[in-house]
Chains A and B, each alone.
Chain A
Amino acid sequence: MKAQDTATKWAAAINEVRIGATPADGGTRRNTVTIGGAQCVPWLAYEGKTGNRPAIAVEIWDRGGETWPGALLEQYGDCVKDPAAWAKKAAEFGADLICLKLMGAHPAMGGISAREAADTVKSVLAAVDLPLIVWGCDVNERDNEVLPKCSEAAKGENCLFGTIKEKNYRTLVASCLADGHKLLAESPLDINIAKQLNVLAHDVGYPLEQLVIFPTTAALGYGFEYVYSIMERSRLAGLGGDPLLRQPTLCDVGLQAWRAKEAITAEDALPGFGPVGARGPLWEAITATNYLQAGADLLVMRHPGSIRLVKESIDRLCSVPAA
Chain B
Amino acid sequence: MITSESGTKTKYMVEFLPAGLKVEVPGGTTVLDAARIAGVVIDSLCGGDGVCGKCRVIVRHGIVRAAATQSLTREEIRQGYVLACEARIDGNVLIDVPTASQVRGKVRDADAVDIRVRESGLLERQRNELDPLVKKHCLRMEPARLENPQSDLNRLYHELAKLNCREESQLGLSVLRRLPGVVRNASGVVTVTSAHRGALTEITDIVSGDSSNPNLAVAVDIGTTSVVAHLIDVATGQSLSSAAKYNSQAVYGGDVLRRIMYCIEQPDGLTQLHTAVIEDINTLIRELLDKVQLSENYITFVVAAGNTTIMHTVMGMNPEWIRREPYVGVSYQPPPFRAAELGIMIHPRGLFYSLPCVSSFIGADITAGVLATGMTQSDEPRMLIDIGTNGEIVIGNKDWMVCASASAGPAFEGAETRDGMRATCGAIDHIRGWSSGQRFSFSTVGNESPCGLCGTAYVDLLAQLLRLQVMDKTGRLNTGNGIARLRKGAEGEPEFVVVKRGERGASRDLVITQSDIANLMRAKAAVYAASKILLTSLGLTMSDLSEIMVAGAFGNFLDLENAVFIGLLPDVPGEKLRFVGNTSLVGAKMAALDRQRYQEARRIANSMTYFELSTDPRFMEAFTSACFFPHTNIEEFPSVMAKVS
Contacts and interface: CB of A to CB of B under 8 A. Distances in A.
Given A199-B473, A203-B472, A192 B480 contact: no
Given A170-B480, A192-B627, A196-B628, A242 B635 contact: yes
Nearest to A204: B472
A47 interface: no
A192 B624 contact: yes
Nearest to A198: B632
Interface in B618-645: 621, 624-625, 627-628, 632-635
Nearest to A244: B634
B632 A196 contact: yes
A200 interface: yes
Nearest to A237: B633
B628 A192 contact: yes
Contact of A167 (B476, B625, B632): B476
Interface centre among B474, B627, B628, B632 (most CB of A within 10 A): B632
Contacts of A203: 472-473
A138 interface: no
Interface string A286-298: 0000000000000
A191 B624 CA distance: 9
Interface residues of B, number: 14
Contacts of B628: 192, 196, 199
Interface in A175-191: 190-191
Interface string B372-405: 0000000000000000000000000000000000
Contacts of A167: 476
Interface string B470-496: 001110100010000000000000000
Looking at chain A's contact residues, the main secondary structure is helix
A195 B624 CA distance: 11
Interface in A115-174: 166-167, 170
Contact of B474 (A166, A242, A244): A166
A242 B635 CA distance: 8
- Contact residue range for chain A? 10 to 19
Nearest to A190: B624
A192 B528 CA distance: 15
Contacts of B627: 192
Contacts of A244: 632, 634
A200 B633 contact: no
A170 B473 CA distance: 14
Contacts of A170: 480
Interface in A236-256: 242, 244
Nearest to A200: B472
A196 B635 CA distance: 13
A190 B473 CA distance: 17
Contact of A195 (B480, B621, B632): B632
B31 to A, nearest CB: 40
Nearest to A194: B632
A203 B624 CA distance: 20
B383 to A, nearest CB: 23
A167 B480 CA distance: 13
Contacts of A166: 474
B312 to A, nearest CB: 38
Nearest to B635: A242
Given A199-B634, A242-B635, A244-B634, A192 B625 contact: yes
B565 to A, nearest CB: 15
Nearest to B625: A192
A192 B472 contact: no
Contacts of B625: 191-192, 195
A278 B476 CA distance: 48
A108 B319 CA distance: 55
Nearest to A171: B480
A183 B157 CA distance: 87
A170 B469 CA distance: 14
Interface string A189-230: 011110110011001000000000000000000000000000
- Closest 8 interchain pairs by CB? A192-B625, A192-B632, A192-B624, A195-B632, A196-B628, A196-B632, A199-B473, A200-B472
Interface of A: 166-167, 170, 190-193, 195-196, 199-200, 203, 242, 244
7 contacts: A192-B624, A192-B625, A196-B628, A199-B628, A199-B634, A242-B633, A242-B635
Given A192-B621, A193-B624, A195-B632, 13 more contacts: A190-B624, A191-B625, A192-B624, A192-B627, A192-B628, A192-B632, A199-B473, A199-B632, A199-B634, A200-B474, A203-B473, A242-B635, A244-B632
